[in-house]
Amino acid sequence: MAAGGVLALGAAAVLLPHADAAQDGTASAAAPRTFQAKDASDAASRLAGSLGEAYAGSYYDSARRRLVVNVVGADDAAVARAERAGAAVRRVGNSSAALAAAAHTLKASATLPGTSWAVDPRTNKVVVTADRTVTGAGWDRLRSTVRSLGTGMATLKRSAGAFRTFASGGDAIFAQAQGGTVRCSLGFNVTAADGSPAFLTAGHCGVAAERWADAQNGQPVATVDRATFPGDDFSLVEYDDPATSAPSEVNVGGGRSVRITGAAEAAVGETVFRMGSTTGLHDGTVTGLDATVNFQSETDPGGVDTVTGLIQTDVCAEPGDSGGSLFTQDGGAVGLTSGGSGDCAQGGETFFQPVTTALQATGATLGGDGGAGAGAGDGGADAGNQGAGAGAGDGGADAGNQGAGDQPGDDQSGDGQSGAGSAAAPGDDASGAAVGSGAAGDPAAAGGSPAGGGHGQGRGRSH
């Protein structure tokens, strides 16, 4: 276990539209109850089943700690049922079926590289995003498709960046592939279905290379068991040494870590935290679920790599953060970093593969050994180093060194990156010092390399 112990994160305040002042619906007059984010997600899942066709999505108002449920039509019985469950109710015009049909139309007519779409329950619309690469005939085609859906059904917006997977940059797990070194982030340690210690990371990382090391020029220590990309974006990678201790925790820098207690479903409006070795710890808000992203294919210049079922957020990320952990302040494992646009200086959108989907598909389980042996051996904990491992080991990576990865010759990692982390440090209140108060290359503000030393060379592997 990293020095300083396993601590909870202080959540930053996130202001969302109030339930009684929503843009596209009117709120119920009944006084709703307060929810923790996880409880709100569970309650929303139950209501989705019990309300049937009247249910049109939900979101979490973290400022008021309320679950807001959309009800379509004049179904007073559904409204009463949702209110009895403690939710604030909004009457809206678009049903879940209509929103799903709109997404189907987009898939059939506007699957273009550089586009994404997801239902935003706060506006009761499908939000379509085009990155800066969508121009000319492609832009005209996308705009025409969105207009055909109607202004009350879909909105179109621009992203200043370009959608890409983040499998390059300074990072903590390394593999050799055609074209050079690929670097990605370890997401969560798990136990494989056969009882072997393993970890989850992005699928496009596992597709790129089979054998992964914990130091840039080190020997491989883990082998891909299953990798899925496109479609989904997750990999299960098993440690080669069956005696490896794989603690269920996320190293957030400065010798601090957050214990992972289990998998958690995301809720729109929920505050989440992302950890990646390129940019360190950052927080933000879930803005959409079941998102579709159309990445430009890296193997076919004219092709599209489409990934569906993703979590959309306003958390920043940069190359090298692929596969990294998305989690809640109370230790719920939510997602694996897939891709997006922007950076941690100007912001952007980042999409995540749900952990629950990856666990169900692979049969793996979270929990591991609860941290026994973490930081042991040659890779003892070093508070100055951050990344997939708690210890520097004997082959600590220099975040300033860039493997060719998916973008040969680009140096997008290390101390040159800027952008302060906004997440409150473990043990600090939300108004206290930020973990990322330094440059992104020094997210723990402790003078260490963000890439750390992977897991260290001992058998205690933290992430």
Catalytic residue annotation: 204, 233, 322
E strand map for 341-446? 350-354
What is the sign of the dihedral through the CA atoms of 357, 348, 440 and 218?
positive
C-alpha distance from residue 26 to each of 17, 83, 134 (Å): 12, 14, 36
Give the residue among 377, 400, 394 at the shortest CA–CA distance from 451: 400
| DSSP annotation string for 113-124 | TTEEEEEETTTT
Ramachandran assignment for 71, one of left (phi > 0), alpha (psi -120 to 50 degrees), beta (any other): beta
Task: Give just the sign of the alpha carbon dihedral 133, 136, 138, 144.
Answer: positive
Alpha carbons within 13 A on the beta-carbon side of 317: 38
Confirm if 165 and 184 have CB atoms less than 8 A apart: no
Task: Check if the beta carbon of residue 319 is closer than 8 Å to that of residue 168.
Answer: yes
Angle between helices 76-84 and 37-51 (to 10 degrees): 150
Peptide bond connecting 247 to the previous residue in cis, omega within 30 degrees of 0: no
Q: Which amino acid is at 82?
A: A
Side chain identity at 261, as an amino acid letter?
T
Q: Are 382 and 196 a contacting pair, CB within 8 Å?
A: no
DSSP letters of 148-191? Answer: HH-TTTEEEEE-SS--EE---SS-SEEEEETTEEEEE---EEEE
- Rounded Cα gap, residues 250 and 195, in angstroms: 21
Alpha helices in 9-116 (DSSP H): 37-51, 76-84, 96-109
Residues whose CB is less than 8 angstroms from the CB of residue 295 and which lie 6 or more positions away in sequence, other chains included? 113, 163, 164, 165, 230, 304, 305, 306, 307, 339
